[in-house]
A and B are shown apart, each in its own frame.
Chain A
Amino acid sequence: DAKTTQPTSMDCAEGRAANLPCNHSTISGNEYVYWYRQIHSQGPQYIIHGLKNNETNEMASLIITEDRKSSTLILPHATLRDTAVYYCIVRVNNAGNMLTFGGGTRLMVKP
Chain B
Amino acid sequence: DTGVSQDPRHKITKRGQNVTFRCDPISEHNRLYWYRQTLGQGPEFLTYFQNEAQLEKSRLLSDRFSAERPKGSFSTLEIQRTEQGDSAMYLCASSQLANERGYTFGSGTRLTVV
Q: Considering only CB atoms and an 8 Å cut-off, how many residues of chain B contact the other chain? A: 28
Contacts of B102 in A (CB 8 A): 34, 36, 46, 49, 91, 95, 99
User: Is B91 close to A, CB under 8 A?
Assistant: yes
B1 to chain A, nearest CB (A): 14
Contact of B99 among A32, A95, A102 (CB under 8 A): A95
Q: Is the interface of A mostly helix, strand, loop or mixed?
A: loop
Query: CB within 8 Å of B: which of A55-96?
Result: 85, 87, 91, 93, 95-96
The residue among A34, A41, A43, A100 with the most chain B CB atoms within 10 A of its own CB is A43
Q: B105–A87 contact, CB under 8 A?
A: no
CA distance A103 to B38 in the complex (A): 11
Q: Tell me if B107 and A42 are in contact (CB < 8 A).
A: yes
A-B contact count (CB 8 A): 59
**Are B43 and A96 in contact, with the CB atoms below 8 A?**
no
Report the bound CA distance from A34 to B98 in whole Å.
16
Asked if B42 is at the interface of the complex by the 8 Å CB criterion, the answer is yes
State whether B33 touches A95 (Cβ < 8 A).
no
Known interface pairs A43-B108, A95-B98, A96-B50; A101-B43 also in contact (CB < 8 Å): yes
State whether A99 and B103 are in contact (beta carbons under 8 Å apart), knowing that A43-B91, A44-B43 are contacts in the complex.
yes
Asked if B76 CB lies within 8 Å of chain A CBs, one says: no
Residue of B nearest to A51 (CB): B100
B residues with a Cβ closer than 8 A to A are 4, 31, 33, 41-45, 48, 50, 55-56, 91, 93, 95-108
Which residues of A are at the interface with B, using a C-beta cutoff of 8 A? 32, 34, 36, 41-46, 49, 85, 87, 91, 93, 95-96, 98-104
Can you list 15 contacts pairing A with B, beta carbon distance less than 8 Å? Answer: A32-B100, A41-B108, A43-B106, A43-B108, A44-B91, A44-B105, A46-B102, A49-B101, A85-B42, A87-B42, A95-B95, A98-B48, A99-B102, A101-B44, A103-B42
